[in-house]
Amino acid sequence: MRLLGVLILAGVVPFLGGCRADKASQAASELDARVSVRQPAATEPSAEPPAAADNRPLIVCFGDSLTAGYGEDPGASYPDYLQKDLDAEGYRYRVVNEGVSGNTSKDGVERLAGIVAMKPAVVVVEFGGNDGLRGLKTETTRDNLAKILSGLKAAGTKVVIAGISLPPDYGPDYVKAFTANYSSLGKQFNLPVLPFLLQNVYGVEGMMQGDRTHATARGNEVVAKNVLPYVTPLLRK
């Protein structure tokens, strides 16, 4: 938008003592003494049309730092690569990254209402890693995941469970009970389960960051490939 400034023009005719102005000069003097204001021009229409709304159905990747893409540049999370993979295969869906670093399964329960409000077609649920790293009871994690899954199913959303595991130094009994949660919940809710999100990534040179917990950009590309075959059966072209 271009604003035109207000230009004020004022003219003053000097008074000459002893001289009597005739009617013509008096009229000219009155005309010059008036204040003239230039009106601003009409607003020009915007040259750019409004952006079209993206009405594609949503696929929400709901989880913690493994979903958020912690430690990598924007655009290098697994949901970003999942979007590219879906586009390449001709699926018209929009992938939304709802990963929050540091989230536990309890945080997932607290964020559930916001996810449901988005009315997604599909949600990939990835929680539990931070529960395990903190040594929380596996029963607590399972109960929280059950609340998330039941809430999504009640809303009519299709769901994929993305499982995760823990390093062996957490103890064989704890690790076994922890990982068993995902398959057990899959059976309970009749949902597809990706057993290990970091399959072909964890422990592979160049695929994991220095913390040995989060995938690199290259690793996230593989993670997206891991998720893809669990999501596509739930979609339509």
Q: Rounded CA gap, 222 and 126, in Å? A: 16
211: annotated active-site residue: yes
Q: Which of 64, 80, 85, 214 is catalytic?
A: 214
169: annotated active-site residue: no
Q: Which of 65, 77, 105, 165 is catalytic?
A: 65
What does the chain look like in DSSP terms, one character per residue? --PPPP-EE---PPP-TT----HHHHHHHHHHHS-EEPPPPPPPPPSSPPPPP--PPEEEEEESHHHHTTTS-TT-SHHHHHHHHHHHTT---EEEEEE-TT--HHHHHHHHHHHHHT--SEEEEE--HHHHHTT--HHHHHHHHHHHHHHHHHTT-EEEEE-----GGG-HHHHHHHHHHHHHHHHHHT--EES-TTTTTTT-TTTB-TTSSSB-HHHHHHHHHHHHHHHGGG---
Token pair 């586009």: residue = 87
65: annotated active-site residue: yes
Q: Which of 22, 73, 173, 211 is catalytic?
A: 211
Structure tokens at 188: 């309970």
- The residues that are catalytic are 65, 211, 214
